[in-house]
């Protein structure tokens, strides 16, 4: 199967959609004990950029569980077109995310490195046809480039990131796995992903970390 043609068909299908609803579930673990739980139910009008989201989270900080629930509505297109793009004009959860975690610099070497990473990712991509004619795309044990991890750590340090997530940014040897289910209509139905690694504390003791999530979409 032509992988590039498949991805092109999926992107083309998504561009033709007017709206999407979905739910995101994320859980984080340290030493196989959950320290983070996040749920985000959302609806986006692709044509207008209007987004509605209901967010629920639970984070363990210093042995205490901190829970949060909120709902928000905003227009992403209007925010992007804001004359000065001032951070205070963005919803709280977007203020530090609006600048992506791309590596710093625009040098040709960095661009070629990113291109090489994605080409290698495409080569490792496995496609399995399901009984209902859906396709399951899978990549496993992908090693995240060091400069990407460095950029992510810097962004996390700038943001008001909870202590457990700050610890996650110090994880070494980060590996990633991801599976994407595409139905017969070339629509993405769900994405399951995981990040794993190990961090050492001040006593140089290793601690395994894991971040697992699933995104479900309805078009």
Tell me the per-residue pLDDT of 14-39, one tens digit each, with 9 for 90 and over: 999 999 999 999 999 988 989 899 99
Taking only the tens place, the pLDDT of each residue in 56-105 is: 999 887 778 889 999 999 998 777 776 455 555 555 555 544 444 444 44
pLDDT at 157: 66
Res. 178: pLDDT tops 60: yes
Domain extents in the chain:
3-218
pLDDT at 83: 47
pLDDT at 77: 77
pLDDT at 85: 52
Taking only the tens place, the pLDDT of each residue in 116-166 is: 888 999 999 999 999 999 999 999 988 877 777 777 777 766 665 556 566
Reported as half-sphere exposure (CB side, CA atoms, 13 A), residue 189 has a value of 11
CA distance 192 to 115: 23
Question: Comparing 200 with 209, which gets the higher pLDDT?
Answer: 209
pLDDT at 165: 63
Q: 105-141 as b/e, with b when 16 or more CB fall inside 10 Å? A: eeeeeeeeeeeeeeeeeeeeeeeeeeeeeebebebee
Find all residues with CB under 8 Å of 61, minimum gap 6, and list them: 162, 163, 164
* CATH 2.50.20 is held by the domain 3-218: yes
Element (H, E) at 178: strand 172-182
Res. 53: pLDDT tops 90: yes
C-alpha of 7 from chain center: 18
Instruction: Give me the mean pLDDT over the 1-18 stretch.
Output: 93
């Amino acid at each position: 199967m032509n992988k590039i043609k498949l991805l092109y068909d999926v992107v083309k299908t998504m561009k033709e959609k007017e709206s999407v609803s979905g739910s995101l579930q994320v859980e984080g673990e340290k030493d196989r004990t959950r320290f983070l739980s996040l749920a985000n139910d959302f609806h986006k009008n692709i044509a207008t950029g209007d987004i509605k989201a209901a967010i629920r989270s639970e984070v363990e900080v210093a042995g205490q569980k901190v829970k949060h629930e909120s709902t928000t509505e905003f227009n992403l297109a209007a925010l992007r077109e804001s004359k000065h793009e001032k951070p205070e004009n963005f919803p709280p959860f977007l203020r530090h995310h609006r600048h992506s975690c791309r590596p710093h610099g625009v040098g040709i070497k960095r661009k070629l490195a990113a291109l090489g990473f994605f080409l290698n990712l495409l080569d490792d991509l496995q496609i399995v046809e399901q009984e209902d004619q859906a396709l399951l795309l899978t990549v496993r044990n992908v090693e995240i480039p060091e400069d990407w991890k460095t950029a992510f750590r810097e962004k996390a340090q700038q943001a008001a990131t909870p202590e457990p997530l700050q610890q996650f940014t110090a994880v070494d040897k980060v590996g990633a796995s991801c599976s994407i289910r595409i139905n017969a209509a070339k629509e993405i139905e769900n994405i399951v992903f995981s990040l794993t690694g190990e961090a050492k504390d001040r006593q140089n003791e290793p601690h395994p970390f894991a971040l697992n999530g699933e995104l479900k979409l309805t078009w």
